[in-house]
Structure 1
Amino acid sequence: MRGLVAGVLGVIAIAAVAGACGGSAKATDDGGVGPTCGSPLAPGAGEATYYDATGAGNCSFAPSPDDLLVAAMNVIDYGTAAWCGGCIEVTGPTGVVTVRIVDKCPGCAKGDVDLSREAFELISPLSAGRVPITWREVACNVSGPVAYQHKDGTSEFYTAIQIRNHRYPIAKLESRDANGAWEAIPRVDYNYFVPADGLGPGPYALHVTDTRGHVLEDLAIPFGELETNPGAAQIPVCP
């Protein structure tokens, strides 16, 4: 299978994709998979405000000083970190901007988005403070494969894994149990997948499903506290 990424830790992985409508496709030369795509998440409408963003927030991503086109999603649409790492295109009174969701906004009504200052000024003068918007899911502009981030304090008894560098929001993460069956890992509010009893010392066989129905399968992701390990492939941009 082409497009396999050999990580510095010798990750051995296989990537596959299954579309929401039952289609599938081989990996492409650039490490992507597809082209089958399911329906996007529902669009939204509400009001935008702004804040002094760093790129960090409730989604537990690291600060991104070179990429501050980010936003906090209202707590209703945020759910249990459902939008973390996904991107939306926001249309305001004077422009359009694409932002990555990195935080939640507890004081925002459903449909509202709290934009970084840098993003807000691309759709409205800052002096407006609060403006009407519409927004929809779009692909994030990423390169390279998805990545698996292990949380601090992770051990064979307490495993916490986050998916990073993905094009569309992540719907589900599964691990393969001792009997070879895929078992869903619960997601927590701060955007890690945390099984009740840990996953053991690794390496881990993991199954990632995004909100468009694509599936990535990585069969040997190594364990390492605070380590970021590359997966085998990246999801393509849906038409």
Structure 2
Amino acid sequence: MKATHLTTPHHKPRTRRLPKSAAALLVVVGLIAGLAACSSAQHQADPGFAVPGATAPGTSGTPTSAGPTATPTSAQSAVPTGTTAPSSASPASAHKSPTGTATTSQTSATPAHSASTSETNTSLAGRIQPGVAYQGVATEYAAADGNGACLFGPAADMMIAAMNELDYQNSEACGAHILVRAANGATVTVLITNECPYPCAPGQLDLSQQAFAKIADPKAGRISISWQLISPATSNNISIRYKAGSSQYWCGIQVIGERNPVGRLEISTGSGWQQLPRASYNYFLSASGVGCGKAIRITDIFGEQLTTAAFPVEPDVVQPAQAQFAQH
């Protein structure tokens, strides 16, 4: 027996017709729903429309998301989890390092020679800072009578050395007393009287043959060392020398026999003090002659000042001064 279908080509499905009153009611309901939907669409499209009881963006209500949360870029500072960010940062007390670590605005000297020459520091030292041990190599050279780029003249003691060009720093290293220590523990103290140009590397000292022999076999020729600036004991006072060719119209002034390196030299102008620039050959120059033959004020790298009486402008004559810097 075959199954029969309710809907076949021969039979149309029967539909139930509604009464006229019910149909009219449905039409009215449809019109009302359509008008409500249209009004709702207009309200959503109108940014000035406010739904009663809703909180406008930017007020104290629950905020709405404006999109994906922004991720801080490398240029933005992020506070680590559990850390309270300060309300403000004082530029005078701290700054951000490239790694984001807060460091003090004051920096300390390092073997990389990051020393400051600012007069706000306690030291007027240049690249060679007191109290810092530097690493390098020692070589040796025939120093003849000991005279060199610092123009001190023949040396009474051949425990001398030439400083590499970078650390020589326009003659600021001249007159520095350096304690040199070899890997075997042997030490020697040398006076910087000369400059060692390239290929001498930063940190390198070129010792006189006599000084090199104090710490190593001369046949070695080149050894690893550490070295540092010292303030030695001495019974000698400083001296002043005017450069050859000096007069009342132009003069160069040199300090000799200083315990500590000279950081600044000033001459009296009658109404005050004028600082003189330092030449690479270790003289302080008055190009206009101002102060030549007048009182001199000398400051070491520790900030101590010595004031001498007026010296006559006698070129190439060593004139003793009755003063010396304190030991540190």
Q: Give 1:228 shift.
A: 1.5
Equivalent residue of 2:286, what SS? Answer: coil
Partner residue of 1:221?
A: 311
Q: Give 1:41 shift.
A: 6.3
Tell me which of 151, 174, 179 is aligned to 1:89: 179
Where do residues 1-239 of structure 1 align in structure 2 (5 Å cutoff)? 40=130, 42-53=132-143, 54-64=145-155, 66-94=156-184, 95-107=186-198, 108-179=200-271, 181-199=272-290, 202=293, 204-238=294-328
Across the two proteins, how many residue pairs are aligned to each other? 200
Distance 2:289 2:254 in 1: 14
Partner residue of 2:50?
A: none
Kindly tell me: are residues 150 and 140 of structure 1, through their superposed partners in 2, closer, same or farther at Cα, counting changes over 3 Å? Answer: farther
Kindly indicate which of the two structures has a greater share of residues assigned to helix. 2
Give the structure, 1 or 2, with the largest relative contact order (CA under 8 Å, sep 6 or more): 1
Kindly tell me: are residues 61 and 92 of structure 1, through their superposed partners in 2, closer, same or farther at Cα, counting changes over 3 Å? Answer: same
Deviations 1:108-156 (A, max 9, x none): 1110000001111111111111111110111245433210011111111
Distance 2:282 2:152 in 1: 9
Deviations 1:87-125 (A, max 9, x none): 100001331000000000012111000000111111111
Equivalent residue of 1:171, what SS? Answer: strand
Equivalent residue of 1:126, what SS? Answer: coil
Q: Give 1:43 shift.
A: 3.4
Distance 1:201 1:76 in 2: 31
CA contact (8 A) 1:93 1:124 kept: no
Kindly tell me: are residues 196 and 42 of structure 1, through their superposed partners in 2, closer, same or farther at Cα, counting changes over 3 Å? Answer: farther
CA contact (8 A) 1:41 1:211 kept: no
Kindly tell me: are residues 201 and 139 of structure 1, through their superposed partners in 2, closer, same or farther at Cα, counting changes over 3 Å? Answer: closer
Q: Give 1:55 shift.
A: 1.5
Aligned-residue Cα RMSD (Å) equals: 1.9
Distance 1:140 1:50 in 2: 23
One-letter amino acid of the counterpart of residue 111, structure 1: G
TM-score (norm 2): 0.58
Distance 1:227 1:114 in 2: 29
One-letter amino acid of the counterpart of residue 58, structure 1: A
Partner residue of 2:68?
A: none
The share of aligned pairs that are identical, in percent, is 37
TM-score (norm 1): 0.78
Equivalent residue of 2:167, what SS? Answer: helix
One-letter amino acid of the counterpart of residue 122, structure 1: K
Kindly tell me: are residues 91 and 200 of structure 1, through their superposed partners in 2, closer, same or farther at Cα, counting changes over 3 Å? Answer: closer
Kindly tell me: are residues 235 and 119 of structure 1, through their superposed partners in 2, closer, same or farther at Cα, counting changes over 3 Å? Answer: same
Kindly indicate which of the two structures has a greater share of residues assigned to strand. 1
